[in-house]
A and B are shown apart, each in its own frame.
Chain A
């Protein structure tokens, strides 16, 4: 099933005018411009689509906004089918006519109220009804300002998603990426649906390899602003940053340990690219981890923090290896094809994403680490920078079509795909942030 949307949105960014951002859970791109146009192509559906009715919340425009955001999130996950709620006027206290909703085809009904509790303060009460078992499945209240209403709606969508599918939702998470337009690079952080972009860094020189800290409060990245690649750690709430790796030669590929204390980085201070470890807060305590006569790069910690996956061409061509953080022998992980790079580990540690070259096309593949079996998730021809959503069910990556760089998404089973074409600027190096509160 293929659906095409043409949308025009005007979005007020922090500083700049035209921005193109991706909605992750399913991939909707909002264009912050009255001129630029967004085109979203969604193909495929989930293995199962749950029919859900999302009624406008009581509370005028705020109530409608809450419902619209929830509907958009659930629709684009590909795992829900919206049931029409026209005519329903529900509030948080309304009794639910289960049988009537069943005849409308809804297995679940979400409803609630938004009430003003003071100067720019709102209370959002939400409930979720299960029409099959005829009972209330979920109910909770949130408080916030009007600027926080969208985030509250995403949190409600996450709760609905988890109650119905059993999997935590990622609608309230964030993504980081590099936006390039003309000669300017911007490191941007946006909500998973593309709203509220924040510009962490703007530069005339390249920015690459952004990496979220596990607590979501910091971004490590590589900036070429001083004339060579240097690794910075940037605290989002204060905009303060520290150059943690500025050694002779190249400094790049930062990756956080799960406890947030250590960064793996790639340095060329001793000749060729090798993997080193440094303290994440100030870059001290430099230790070398790999010693090979070839290229070692793109380190990534396992979720238990005990080992690091990395790219190495010690066998002659780039492949993925695993090495204990405490040091020791590296074990080869990939054997299909002669070019495997960009390892990313799933949150449960069971599968590995790689970018693999097959018949000249760069594609994203998922490898089951216990069986070694491989699934090709994307088609190419030039797919890069894959990252898992924190629930492990979606993959965000950068695709290139017609020479233009854009963001794309695919479900981790490969069934649902989204591609996003944009007119102005390019988006590269996407990376999905963790669960957690916005600092």
Chain B
């Protein structure tokens, strides 16, 4: 822990000429696994490798939506910017955004709504520097629910867009 703190301070000192950023990306070689503020307050700590299951890019990749809505809530600001920054830094990296809906409503309309959610996440990412060509969106509508019950909590879990990093 102490060594990591020393490293972090060194980086900050060297980077003093940089504009103040709310999140700082560290190299993959940064030690330590955990990062602070996992629930949306991501501040660039930890491994930035989307294929590493302990990375924030892998753990924090789902955006949830209100009923019949495709608006990305501001609570996902940090999540969006974390992924956008990674994509900006890695212009050859492609992702798929998978949109889903709850079970309420028609099959085809929900397929379109799920796509709409995926597209909303896409435009949030491209606003922060990701390229359109890096992103494909698909929708499963209500056909592949993660939560199989019919409680309100299950429905909320299924109103979701997932960011999936594609291996080259």
Interface residues of A (CB under 8 A from B): 206, 208-209, 224, 228-229, 248-250, 252-253, 266, 268, 271-273, 295, 297-298, 311, 318, 339, 341-342, 355, 357, 362, 382, 384-385, 403, 429
Contacts and interface: CB of A to CB of B under 8 A. Distances in A.
Interface stretch (B10-18, B48-56, B103-111): B103-111
B116 interface: yes
A273 B109 CA distance: 9
Given A273-B111, A384-B107, A268 B137 contact: yes
B136 A298 contact: no
A341 B136 contact: no
Contact of B108 (A253, A271, A382): A253
B138 interface: yes
Interface in B92-118: 104-109, 111-113, 115-116
Contact of B138 (A229, A272, A298, A385): A229
Given A249-B115, A271-B119, A295-B116, A266 B107 contact: no
Contacts of B104: 382
17 contacts: A209-B107, A248-B136, A250-B112, A250-B139, A266-B108, A266-B111, A268-B139, A272-B116, A272-B119, A273-B112, A273-B116, A295-B113, A297-B109, A298-B108, A318-B109, A341-B105, A342-B109
A127 to B, nearest CB: 46
Contact of A228 (B113, B116, B138, B150): B138
Contacts of A385: 106-107
A252 B105 contact: no
Given A224-B143, A249-B137, A403-B150, A208 B107 contact: yes
Contacts of A229: 111, 138-139
Contacts of A208: 107-108, 111, 143
Contacts, number: 82
B69 to A, nearest CB: 12
Contacts of B140: 206, 224
Contacts of B109: 295, 297-298, 311, 318, 341-342
Contacts of A252: 108, 111
Given A224-B140, A249-B137, A250-B139, A429 B119 contact: no
Contacts of B115: 249-250, 268, 272-273
Given A224-B143, A249-B136, A249-B138, A272 B112 contact: yes
Interface size class of B (residues with CB under 8 A): 20 to 34
Majority-rule SS of B interface residues: mixed
A90 B144 CA distance: 57
B106 A341 contact: yes
Given A249-B138, A341-B105, A403-B150, A266 B112 contact: yes
Contacts of A253: 108, 111
A293 B72 CA distance: 18
A186 B113 CA distance: 25
Contact of A355 (B106, B137, B143, B150): B106
B113 A250 contact: no
Contacts of B150: 403
A268 B112 CA distance: 8
A112 B16 CA distance: 99
B112 A297 contact: yes
Interface string B124-168: 000000000000111110011000001000000000000000000
B106 A342 contact: yes
Given A250-B138, A252-B108, A273-B111, 17 more contacts: A206-B140, A206-B143, A209-B108, A224-B143, A248-B136, A250-B115, A253-B111, A266-B112, A268-B115, A273-B112, A297-B109, A298-B108, A311-B106, A311-B108, A341-B108, A341-B109, A385-B106
Nearest to A318: B109
A311 B113 CA distance: 12
Q: Which 10 A-B pairs have the closest CB atoms?
A: A273-B112, A206-B143, A295-B112, A341-B106, A228-B138, A297-B112, A253-B108, A341-B109, A268-B115, A298-B108
Nearest to A299: B108
Given A208-B143, A248-B136, A268-B137, A297 B111 contact: yes
Nearest to A248: B136
A429 B107 CA distance: 9
A268 B109 CA distance: 13
Nearest to B106: A341
A416 to B, nearest CB: 25
A429 B111 CA distance: 14
A253 B139 CA distance: 13
B52 to A, nearest CB: 23
A11 B110 CA distance: 35
